[in-house]
Amino acid sequence: MAAAGALGRLCLSSLGRRGGNGTPSSRPRFPPVASTSAPSASSSSASAGDGEKGSRESFVVPGGGGRGSKSLRLDSFLSERLTGRNLSRARIQESVRAGTATVNGRVQVKPAHKLWPGDEVVCVILERPPLDVEPEDIPLDVVYEDATVLVVDKPAGLVVHPAPGNHGGTLVNAVLHHCNLPALRVAELGDGEDDVEGGSRADLMYGNVPVPRPGIVHRLDKGTSGLMVVAKDDLARESLQAQFRERTVEREYLSIVCGELDRGG
């Protein structure tokens, strides 16, 4: 299996198992890239009540129909307005529950609080501290490996990537060890639950230099077992991301059910 254009369409269900752990792994190449993040024009640095810092966002709910108009949920409104920030709904709800949002000058801690046209909304989106991700000697069931990609059979119960409250014991930790990569610092990891496959979930950092995350181009839920493909160089990563984004990857799922299913269920 080769990278870039020669990679062709990936069919996860057709990969044959190789004996042992496949071929010896080569050290993946992840060249540093410049950070492009910058605060929006409506953002400013602020501190939340619990001492954590974040960006202050302020908006006015559009429309002029007053209380006769359709109401909006606070979290839905903020999620829509902050689309360019690549924030998950869970991250916004977390900030609201922490007491960082006000509506017309009054603190609102309920993400479902109803907004009306003309309401003034101010919210501080809390920053999450970076996570240090260490290589861990976690056994991997390697199905296929060459110089550009690694395919592993992820067992149920294994989390794919670190997140707040779950810093270790993940597939990423195992991949770092398997590929002889050093520890990484992960900024803002954990917003990926709403992430579109093939996109970039988080910045990984060598020191203070952000680099792409180590080859993870899709995910499986913690309780789901199955094949995970990991890119080992930039060409493979970009090709695989494009295939997942364009939905040209062929995947098959099996589930165990109990009882009788309705027609079409």
* Cα–Cα separations (whole angstroms), residue 198 to 29, 215, 216, 250: 19, 11, 9, 14
Residue type, 31: P
State yes or no: is 50 an active-site residue.
no
Q: Residue 212 forms beta bridges with which residues?
A: 203
- DSSP assignment of 58-107 equals EEE---S-GGGSPPEEHHHHHHHHTGGGT--HHHHHHHHHTT-EEETTEE
Instruction: Give residue 161's Cα distance to chain centre.
Output: 8
What number of H helices and E strands is found in the chain? 4, 14
132, 141, 194, 221: the catalytic one is 221
- Rounded Cα distance between 204 and 170, Å, is 15
Name the DSSP letter for residue 234: H
Measured CA distances, 245 to 103, 217, 240, 248 (Å): 37, 10, 8, 8
With tokens 């260490």, the residue in question is 134
Give the single-character DSSP code of 20.
T
Question: What is the Cα–Cα distance from 255 to 94, expressed in whole angstroms?
Answer: 32
For residues 225 and 141, what is the distance between their CA atoms, to the nearest angstrom?
Answer: 12
Catalytic residue annotation: 221
